Chains A and B, each alone.
Chain A
Amino acid sequence: MLLAVLLWIFTVVSCLAFAAKRWWFPGAISTHAQAYDQQLGLTLWVCGAIFVAAQLLLGWAVYRYRNRGQSVRFTRGSNRLEFAWTTATAVVFLGLMFSGFGIWAKLHFARPPAGALRVEVMAKQFAWSYRYPGPDGKFGRTDVRLVNDAAGNPFGLDEQDPAAKDDIVASALRVPERTPVVLTLLARDVIHNFFVRELRLKQDVVPGMAIPLAFQADRPGKYEVACSELCGLGHHQMRSLMEVMTRDAFDEWLREQAR
């Protein structure tokens, strides 16, 4: 009896908490993020409906079938019901999944346009660095033996290589708005994770692998990059910024760096 009431109260409170959206997603800043939010909204509604129905039903059964001296309705089951709810859940669960596959496919299998801005991301315990190819459009040669953080060379740029001379290395990620960007994620010690909430993007950064991550940010602003894979005692401090700039401001910044 008490349990029935608690179940109902719990269900209502949970729904109110979700409806209040006090702690919620930050605004989406890309088409991918918008598509993501749409699929998430669908999932929320479907799961929310099942949640409410199941909890209320459980509470109802607890209330209705408490011992009041009634006789039991004997049954061992029903194949028809088993068939019905197996089919129904399979349809709902798989339907939900298939409706979200497009987002995954677009993110991972779409070929980025030729003019995309390419940036290398280097993760280490416990900092992020970003490398741009510079005016020549070419990333210079790197060698892990040349890495020198104190001298501002976290990528191990080889100064002997002419293509390396104009490479730009920065501690924050700057990208122009409405421009396709392809990151190449690199780690040199342990596994890290590149996470920008507003992009709805999160990707492990694994030593020994160069993992591409494509996006296009549509709204200028500063967004936090948070490491989201346990990487050691400074994991929680492994922060950097992603600044989405207007095209002009970005070009201006590039020119400044190239000087």
Chain B
Amino acid sequence: MTPAAVRPAVGSQGFLRRYVFSTDHKVIGIQYFFLALAAALAGVALSLLMRYHLTNPDTKVGWFGALWPDGAPGGVMTPELYLSLLTMHGTIMVFFVLTTAPQSAFGNFILPLQIGAPDMAFPVLNMLSFWTTALSFAVLLAAFFVEGGAPLSGWTAYPPLSALGAITGPGQGLGQTLWIVSIAIFCAASLMGAINFITTVIDLRTRGMTLLRMPLTVWTWFLTAIISLLAFAVLLAGGILLLLDRTAGTSFFLPAGLLVNEQLLDRRGGSPLLWQHLFWFFGHPEVYIAILPGMGVVSTVLSVFSRKPVFGYRAMVYASLAIAFIGFLVWGHHMFQSGMNPYSAFAFSLLTMVIGVPSAIKTFNWLGTIWGGRMEFTTAMLFALGFVSVFVTGGLSGLFLGQSAIDIYFHDTYFVVGHFHIIMGVASVFGIFAATFYWFPKMFGRHLSERLGKAHFYATFLGAYAIFMPMHFLGFAGNPRRYPDFTNFEFLADLIPLHKAISHAAYFTAAAQLLFLGNLVYSLWRGKAASANPWNATTLEWATASPPPEHNFDEALPVVQHGPYEYSVPGAAKDFVMQHEPAESK
């Protein structure tokens, strides 16, 4: 049988075919990487504007006014502009950074290499999914430039606010429509990617690569693809219904008797809660889409730089399976206070606590992996260790929110903002950084600077905690999220100093990312040249050149003889045994 990935030689192809509309999974992975990087820069920039406005609500900033004549007349940001920045920040970060970088960028580049395949199963589909994602990003950004600007309903876009058009506020017109269209396109792209990943893992594993010899990264990319397939399909359906409510006069999410802005609407029969069910049926698994690949990366990096096998490999696989499955059964914990039947809170609360168990198992196994090891603190390793720390912190605040009763007070406060930024944002981003430092030599044939990398890690580690830990206290004080300023409530006045500190921590942490950007640009051209296997690692991507040739493996595809994490095996000649090394070298 001929693998689907076998293609004619490409020597004759021009620049466009090779680097722009390439079907090579490695080029596509790098394209996704830079798309995610661009999106991250945009998303961080928006968050800085938000943090600035929150603590300086009345300050005139000339270029705000120049950039947004309507949104910031005279240079003072209006609440609607703030809310549109908030919507776009969340959307960009969740979809185009946290979904795109861990899965589409690194998964694309590394997964075929790690399973010993010459490419993804459907190379053309792969190209198509990247360009569809890029189109989706362009449509989203276009929302900034249309009449009324970007939507203000948040990344969750709850109807009726999101379903009624410009009558509910600026940005709710064409801007909100573009937002929905962008998300629908993104769903389509993700579905294409998911099918490709799943098929590749099932069909294109090289000889000897049994399921339980797959590196944990392959497992997590595989499971993430399955989650994506099921979750994005539901979001796509929800998005289409919302679009119909907006443009075709349907009432899927709209009840009778709506009186909006003095206008009585002729809609009936729909339910605002239906959207929340559809959205969170996608939205909660999305958290695992963002974090699972990072868990795979962290498991691998901790093992490589402790020179020890992953502790409890099978337990890790089962925990990942459990997370992927139960992740679909907990969406209701986002809706404890939504007005849905309060009896359902028992089930959702129970399942939410249950899903904490496999997460805890992973943490224990990570500690087990480094315990008794010989740790080398490369930047990748530091980010992996940082991941464990923030994963614990963010997971524990989840034990507050997962109890329906305790969630009453914290729902929609900064406690939630702190919780999900740590567990979904910072943890995933640490996973991305660990992956970047670990695989950069393979992707680009050069090392990132370790010195700059470590400075960047420490600044980011401290900065991220300095931003998001204090948010828990804001939550204790009851500070609602998604407020453009805190001037209207007496109880919020006391919190301004804390907000100021958070803003300064945000400026500091954002500035620290310049270290990474500088490192990236410098190392792309001037970085230390990388050998095929600079970390003395065991998995198959290190069995080929850095960067790998056109079809990944120059000669025959490698044949797998060992598990993925054979470090310091007693009796072996060296402290690592690569997966494809003949058995007698043990």
B314 to chain A, nearest CB (A): 8
Q: Which of B164, B259, B311 contacts A77 (CB 8 A)?
A: B311
In the complex, are the beta carbons of A85 and B161 less than 8 A apart?
no
Q: Which of A46, A51, A57, A101 contacts B405 (CB 8 A)?
A: A101
Q: A108 to chain B: which residues have CB within 8 Å?
A: 342, 345
Choose the segment among A130-138, A159-167, A192-200, A245-253 that binds chain B (4+ C-beta atoms closer than 8 Å).
A192-200
| Nearest CB in chain A to that of B167: its residue | A189
CA distance A232 to B176 in the complex (A): 13
Query: Does B34 interact with chain A (Cβ within 8 Å)?
Result: no
Query: Does B169 interact with chain A (Cβ within 8 Å)?
Result: yes
Given A82-B312, A94-B353, A188-B257, residue A3 in contact with residue B160 (CB < 8 A): no
Interface residues of B in 348-363 (CB under 8 A from A): 349-350, 353-354, 356-357, 360-361, 363
Q: A227 to chain B: which residues have CB within 8 Å?
A: 480
| Nearest CB in chain A to that of B336: its residue | A104
Interface residues of B in 69-88 (CB under 8 A from A): 78-80, 83
CA distance A143 to B393 in the complex (A): 50
Residue of A65, A70, A90, A230 with most partner-chain B CB within 10 A: A230
Interface residues of A in 213-233 (CB under 8 A from B): 224, 226-233
Choose the segment among B3-11, B118-126, B470-478, B514-522 that binds chain A (4+ C-beta atoms closer than 8 Å).
B470-478
A209 to chain B, nearest CB (A): 5
Q: A10 to chain B: which residues have CB within 8 Å?
A: 389, 462, 465
Q: A71 to chain B: which residues have CB within 8 Å?
A: 374, 568
| Nearest CB in chain B to that of A156: its residue | B259
Q: A67 to chain B: which residues have CB within 8 Å?
A: 374-376
Q: B386 to chain A: which residues have CB within 8 Å?
A: 3
Given A23-B494, A55-B392, A67-B374, residue A204 in contact with residue B408 (CB < 8 A): no
In the complex, are the beta carbons of A47 and B399 less than 8 A apart?
yes
B210 to chain A, nearest CB (A): 16
Q: Which of B260, B273, B360, B485 contacts A236 (CB 8 A)?
A: B485
Query: Does A73 interact with chain B (Cβ within 8 Å)?
Result: yes
Query: Does A14 interact with chain B (Cβ within 8 Å)?
Result: yes
Residue of A17, A70, A89, A190 with most partner-chain B CB within 10 A: A190
Query: What 0/1 pattern do residues 379 to 414 of B give for CB contact below 8 A with A?
Result: 000100110110011001101101111101101110
Interface residues of B in 247-263 (CB under 8 A from A): 255-262
CA distance A103 to B257 in the complex (A): 34
A35 to chain B, nearest CB (A): 9
Q: Which of A2, A82, A85, A234 contacts B458 (CB 8 A)?
A: A2
Query: Does A61 interact with chain B (Cβ within 8 Å)?
Result: yes
Choose the segment among B183-191, B365-373, B533-541, B548-556 that binds chain A (4+ C-beta atoms closer than 8 Å).
B365-373
A188 to chain B, nearest CB (A): 5
In the complex, are the beta carbons of B361 and A208 less than 8 A apart?
no
Q: A231 to chain B: which residues have CB within 8 Å?
A: 161
Q: B488 to chain A: which residues have CB within 8 Å?
A: 236-237, 239
CA distance A18 to B222 in the complex (A): 40
In the complex, are the beta carbons of B494 and A85 less than 8 A apart?
no
A185 to chain B, nearest CB (A): 8
For chain A, give the interface size range. 35 or more
Interface residues of A in 1-30 (CB under 8 A from B): 1-3, 6-7, 10, 14, 17, 22-26
In the complex, are the beta carbons of B498 and A191 less than 8 A apart?
no
In the complex, are the beta carbons of B374 and A36 less than 8 A apart?
no
Q: A205 to chain B: which residues have CB within 8 Å?
A: 339
Q: Which of A23, A58, A103, A207 contacts B385 (CB 8 A)?
A: A58
Q: Which of A6, A47, A201, A208 contacts B462 (CB 8 A)?
A: A6
| Nearest CB in chain A to that of B171: its residue | A233
In the complex, are the beta carbons of B257 and A208 less than 8 A apart?
yes
Query: Does B346 interact with chain A (Cβ within 8 Å)?
Result: yes
Q: A1 to chain B: which residues have CB within 8 Å?
A: 377
In the complex, are the beta carbons of B389 and A58 less than 8 A apart?
yes
Q: List 27 A-B contacts (CB under 8 A).
A: A1-B377, A3-B458, A25-B409, A36-B405, A40-B409, A57-B367, A58-B388, A58-B389, A67-B376, A72-B568, A73-B372, A74-B569, A82-B315, A94-B353, A96-B403, A104-B342, A107-B405, A201-B408, A207-B255, A208-B256, A208-B272, A224-B489, A233-B484, A236-B79, A236-B485, A239-B488, A239-B489
